[in-house]
Structure 1
Amino acid sequence: MVKNVLYKLKGLIAVYIIMGLVSQLMNVLSIVYFQRIIDILSEIKNKADITDYIIIPLLLYAITTIACCILNYADNYPSTKIENRIYYNFKLLAIDKVSKINFLDYANYGTGKIIQIVENGSEAGKNILFGFFIEIFYSLVPGLLFSLIVLGTYSIRIMFVIGIGYVVIFIVSNLMLKKLYNIKEKVLIETEWTSNKYVRALMETMIFRVNRKYKQEKADIGKAYDEIIKSETKVVMIHEFFFAFFYLLVIFVKIIIIIMGIWKLNISLGKIVALVMLVDNIYSPISEFNIMYVKYNLDKVAYNRYVNFLSLKDDTNLFNGIELMEKPFKIKAVNFSAGYGRRDAVHNLSYEMEAGKKYAIVGKSGAGKSTFVKTLLGIIKGTKGNLFINESDISTINLDKYYQYISYVSQDAPIFDGTILENITMNKEYAQEEIWRVLDMVLLKEKIEGLDKKLDTNIGEKGIKLSGGEKQKLAIARVLLQDASVIILDEATASMDYLSEEKVLQNLFSEKKDSLILLITHRLKAIEFVDKIFLLENGEIREEGSFAQLIKNRSNFYELWNKHAEQQMK
């Protein structure tokens, strides 16, 4: 996974690390030359001689400090590109995962939780790869190494004092880490739970308003935010305690160096100044490493949750299996059951459907209609029996290749941010005459011709707003342009008025008379003209037959039809 994230970044990372190496070297050398300047100024009494001795150290000091400034500015280019590319590569990996994840695992997580896991995990992954590992080789190791080499030439005793200080810092940081780890995990769990509720509150506007749920939902989310804020504050305070403790320790070490330099080591003023500056150069990497190490371990909590998500089982049939050698012309189920986990949602289904005919699935809410459709798409897997596409069991076929023959339209017909033309053609090439013809068939031609930019009118988030029925018409226009042999309309006309629905469906049936068309609907008026109806109850097919046959039987479908007719009369 890390290899995928760092793809094409190896060269830029190498340049960035080399820039850091040179920058740290220049920084340490500038301290050395600064020390020589101070020693020259303090030791030479004759001012006339100072110029002769100081010119070269001063020039070298200027070169090294200016080089540091230039490098510190220049490294913003590779660092920004690397940091952002790592972050967005993690997000792209999540999209790739969602494109092939086992549907049941995806459904168990929920959209809001997945969004938060991906956001937290991508940020944590960026911090781990860039903010920890790359940064160690960019600044910490070179800075510490060069500073220790120079310090060793000044005083071994002071190196020993610094080493003791580091041991103290290491012990304190590890004690702090255990406390922070538990708090961070709690924050992540709370954030994911809250995100799920937050997304639901934003998306289910009508339901929440009508059922007056916003007040309670806001209170629940607010309470969760209070807990998150409390935990985040604890994390910050513990972090800041470490910084305060560290700086006190550095001040203490500097005082010891000054005392030892004057009374014990008898070294020059310049070297004392250099030693004090080098302490910052040595302890800053040590401090940064400990802080980074603590953050690294905290980020691992979010990162591991992200990795666990990426490790969920893929749909093994999505890109593997038998490729259909011809378009699906027959679908047959034999005692087929399927469901979610241990629970079957459809039971012992036996039916046949073939190209050139129209079918409908009806039933009360919870009867198993949506699961029925998901089994046809291979999203929900069978637990027993067989479901054949042509002569191949659906569990053995390559679903990605199978989908090229299928057009599927749901009740929430997706409209993408772009032009009407882009939404209809989905970036495929069609003649203008053909596009206007299908728009006429879905009763949108007149509306679009009345727009200033016509097919180039922007719709979606940044453009004109379409009604629910118009969105569904646009989605069916896509189907009319596509060459699908299986067309599934899952409540795809539910937002249209009855006259529009009847006209659009009649045009679809006529245009796609060679395709297998399946309607899933609760509006029974739409199914009078299909060849066969399947009535589902509790996940089983209770009745099947033509509309006329089922009405004549005066059984379950007849009762459902009468109730529907009564509701329409009201």
Structure 2
Amino acid sequence: MKRLKETFANDTWVMPYLRKYKGLLILVLFLGFMTFFSGGALMFNSGYLISEAARQPSSIIYIYVPVVLARAFGIARPSFRYVERLTSHNWVLKIVSDFRKKLYESVEKKASAIQRSHQTGDILSILADDIEHIENLYLRTVFPMVIGWLLYLFIVIGVGSLNWVVGLLMLLLLGVIVIILPLASVATNGVREYQQHQIQHQFYTNLTDEVLGLGDWLISGRYHDFINLQKKPIKEIAQLRRKDHYYQWWRSFLVQFMVLLTTITLLVWAANSFTATKSLANWVAAFALAIFPAVSPFLNISQGASEWPVYRRSIERVNQLDKDNVTPTKQVALKASFKQLDIDNVTFKYPDGDRDIVKNISMTIHPGEKVALLGPSGTGKSTFLKLLVGDLIPNTGKIEINGQSVAALQNVRSSLYGILDQQPYLFDTTVMNNVRLGNVNATDEEIKQAIAAVGLKDLIESLPDQYDTEVQEAGKRFSGGERQRLSLARILLQDAPIIILDEPTVSLDPITEKKLLDRVFALLQDKTIIWVTHHLAGINHVDQVRFMENGRFDMQGSPQELYKQEPRFRQLYDLDRGR
């Protein structure tokens, strides 16, 4: 309960919209209640009708009203259900529309701050999952729980008005279903769902990194290790799902059992209270049958409560967007041409993280220097690159170009950094337009010269539309190596002094990889290059190598020095060369 209050104490995403659309919300809850009330009334009426008809009354008039009521409640239940579904989804869609607008406005206004305080995966999760989670919060938790509690109160008050002792028994028996089981579901099954989500998130992250480095696993002869590595999280998820299945079975069984006890209680009470005359006996079956339609909403209460931990995390995360008021750094221009990139004792961890991703790293990079960053997945290489370009701000230490903070140079970042990564950003437009993104003021002739420099002139000019050829979405008109060379042509036009190569050859075959690396380093020989890679193919192109392990540099030097002095480097180098 304390955590629930904390979640909504400063909420700007859920409660304001509950108040904004409270009229429609009340209508949804009313229709939901009437759906199950009509079901209960139908069973109540049917119990009376069956009992009355079994007495073989002398005139149809004795059962005429129950027959009409049976038809009325029979029609009312699906009608209320249909209208309730339409209304609830209309209500949720209105709220989701407001959510998306609010989310996009938050991202637009504070894009830089958000990018610096959240990992890319977090932003994607907010956009893809969290809004859907909040939508499900209403449909699968709020509505069923409120409707179930309304039915609970209606039954307890209704029976209690006839007999307070039986009403108290209803309060206790049904209270197990609507209060104790939901709390137990949050404490047990809800925790398992949260654990499953965490395992899946980590599994997807690791699997993506490992698949991108699949060539390394194959080259090193560790294919079976790669397969076995994926089995552990799959088994953990399967085990959690089995526990979840067993728990739901036992919870459903307990609900059914409590409903059985409730039915028996009503049956005993009705048998003692309504058997003085034959006509009164008709009410015995009516009371006993009326409870059964409430089984479904009572089950939904526990299921909705068990999903609350997942929804709470989404609510807290989107609310965090409104709290992340990072004061933007005053932007300036670089005072002179690039002379030096200084990384001074930099440490960084993400706001919701429990460990430092980058730890006390220092280095200096000079113009024209070529640096390779190596290390296994998850060691902090990608985070280090984000720090270099200013996407993230160090917790301690500083990153400067010519003595000026990188954070203050974001307005001129495109003139400082060129980036060639694993998946080049190619858009569904022409070759000419895609390459022109490197320099929107470039002439057609300059673009053609850049394309020729990367070795694509003959290919492009052999196509029917030549430079007006549509590359298609994500550049799928061309092969992986051709897409990378188009992106390289864009970098040539950009003419930035610092080039970041973020594993640009990870999805290429060895022959294409070698050709691309040779061309990249030949064309960019006068540039400063920071190259992140998983393995050592093409390592002789660089001046110095830095191995990252757990956020630190644990091996560094020129390729020649490391080959002589470090057995680990020598083993990896020989392995990459097939020795």
Aligned pair 1:3/2:12, yes or no? Answer: yes
1:339 maps to 346
Alpha-carbon distance in 2 for matches of 1:153, 1:313: 49
Larger Rg: 1
2:451–2:489: 8 Å Cα contact kept in structure 1?
yes
Q: 477, 480, 488: which one pairs with 1:464?
A: 477
The DSSP-based 3-state class of the residue aligned with 1:323 is coil
Measured against aligned partners, the alpha-carbon deviations of 1:291-317 in whole angstroms (never above 9, x if no partner) come to 4323425x36xx549957996999987
2:185–2:303: 8 Å Cα contact kept in structure 1?
no
Range with bigger deviation, 470-479 or 177-186: 177-186
Alpha-carbon distance in 2 for matches of 1:80, 1:371: 37
Alpha-carbon distance in 2 for matches of 1:502, 1:364: 12
CA shift for structure 1 position 323: 2.1
Alpha-carbon distance in 1 for matches of 2:387, 2:425: 25
2:343–2:361: 8 Å Cα contact kept in structure 1?
no
Number of equivalenced pairs: 513
2:370–2:528: 8 Å Cα contact kept in structure 1?
no
Measured against aligned partners, the alpha-carbon deviations of 1:406-431 in whole angstroms (never above 9, x if no partner) come to 44223535244634546445699889
CA shift for structure 1 position 55: 8.0
Measured against aligned partners, the alpha-carbon deviations of 1:413-462 in whole angstroms (never above 9, x if no partner) come to 52446345464456998899465565345443432343356544345668
1:322 maps to 330
1:293 maps to 305
With over 3 angstroms needed to count, the CA separation of the structure-2 counterparts of 1:283 and 1:102, relative to structure 1, is same
Measured against aligned partners, the alpha-carbon deviations of 1:51-110 in whole angstroms (never above 9, x if no partner) come to 875686467436523532432553474377479879989998999999756879859xxx
With over 3 angstroms needed to count, the CA separation of the structure-2 counterparts of 1:9 and 1:410, relative to structure 1, is farther
Aligned pair 1:165/2:176, yes or no? Answer: no
Q: 246, 264, 276: which one pairs with 2:288?
A: 276
1:6–1:86: 8 Å Cα contact kept in structure 2?
no
Alpha-carbon distance in 1 for matches of 2:381, 2:345: 12
2:222 maps to 213
Alpha-carbon distance in 2 for matches of 1:53, 1:314: 61
The equivalences for 1:127-526 within 5 A come to 127-137=136-146, 139-148=147-156, 150-151=158-159, 155-169=163-177, 170-171=179-180, 174=183, 178-180=187-189, 183-184=192-193, 187-188=196-197, 190-266=199-275, 268=280, 271-282=283-294, 284-297=296-309, 299=310, 303-304=312-313, 307=316, 320-324=328-332, 326=333, 329-331=336-338, 337-340=344-347, 343-347=359-363, 349=364, 359-363=367-371, 377-378=389-390, 379=392, 381=394, 387=400, 392-394=404-406, 397=408, 400-403=410-413, 405-412=415-422, 414-416=424-426, 418-421=428-431, 423-424=434-435, 433=444, 436=448, 438-452=450-464, 454=466, 455-459=468-472, 463-468=476-481, 470-479=482-491, 488-490=499-501, 496=515, 500-501=519-520, 504-505=523-524, 518-520=528-530
Q: 1:401 corresponds to which letter in structure 2?
A: N
> Normalised by the size of structure 2, how large is the TM-score?
0.66
Q: Which blocks of at least 5 consecutive residues in structure 2 are unaligned?
A: 1-9, 348-355, 506-512, 532-536, 548-552, 565-576
CA shift for structure 1 position 280: 3.2
The DSSP-based 3-state class of the residue aligned with 2:528 is strand
Alpha-carbon distance in 1 for matches of 2:384, 2:250: 59
The DSSP-based 3-state class of the residue aligned with 2:12 is helix
With over 3 angstroms needed to count, the CA separation of the structure-2 counterparts of 1:440 and 1:146, relative to structure 1, is farther
Q: 2:210 corresponds to which letter in structure 1?
A: A
2:28–2:88: 8 Å Cα contact kept in structure 1?
no
1:339–1:383: 8 Å Cα contact kept in structure 2?
yes
Alpha-carbon distance in 1 for matches of 2:223, 2:246: 34
2:82 maps to 70
The DSSP-based 3-state class of the residue aligned with 1:345 is strand
1:44–1:50: 8 Å Cα contact kept in structure 2?
no
Alpha-carbon distance in 2 for matches of 1:116, 1:386: 29
CA shift for structure 1 position 3: 3.4
With over 3 angstroms needed to count, the CA separation of the structure-2 counterparts of 1:134 and 1:305, relative to structure 1, is closer
CA shift for structure 1 position 163: 1.2
With over 3 angstroms needed to count, the CA separation of the structure-2 counterparts of 1:486 and 1:154, relative to structure 1, is farther
1:183–1:235: 8 Å Cα contact kept in structure 2?
yes
1:21 maps to 30
2:352 maps to none
With over 3 angstroms needed to count, the CA separation of the structure-2 counterparts of 1:365 and 1:126, relative to structure 1, is same
With over 3 angstroms needed to count, the CA separation of the structure-2 counterparts of 1:73 and 1:104, relative to structure 1, is closer
Provide the identity percentage. Answer: 14
With over 3 angstroms needed to count, the CA separation of the structure-2 counterparts of 1:83 and 1:120, relative to structure 1, is same
Measured against aligned partners, the alpha-carbon deviations of 1:254-273 in whole angstroms (never above 9, x if no partner) come to 12322321233448456444
Q: 1:232 corresponds to which letter in structure 2?
A: R
Alpha-carbon distance in 2 for matches of 1:282, 1:25: 12
1:91–1:122: 8 Å Cα contact kept in structure 2?
no
CA shift for structure 1 position 233: 1.0
2:156–2:171: 8 Å Cα contact kept in structure 1?
no
